[in-house]
Amino acid sequence: MTPTEPNFSHRVYELVAQIPPGRVMTYGQLAALAGHPRAARIVGGIAHFGPEDLPWHRVVNKQGGLAGAFPGGRSEQGRRLEAEGVEVSVDYKVKLEELIWYPDR
* Domain 1-51: assigned CATH number: 1.10.10.10
Tens of pLDDT along the chain (105 residues) come to 555 667 999 999 999 999 999 999 999 999 999 999 999 999 999 999 999 999 999 999 999 999 988 999 999 999 999 999 999 999 999 999 999 999 985
pTM: 0.92
> Rounded to whole angstroms, how far apart are CA atoms 2 and 53?
25
Query: CA torsion sign, 27 to 59 to 17 to 98?
Result: positive
Where in the chain are the domains?
Answer: 1-51, 63-99
87 in Cβ contact with 51 (< 8 Å):
no
56 in Cβ contact with 17 (< 8 Å):
no
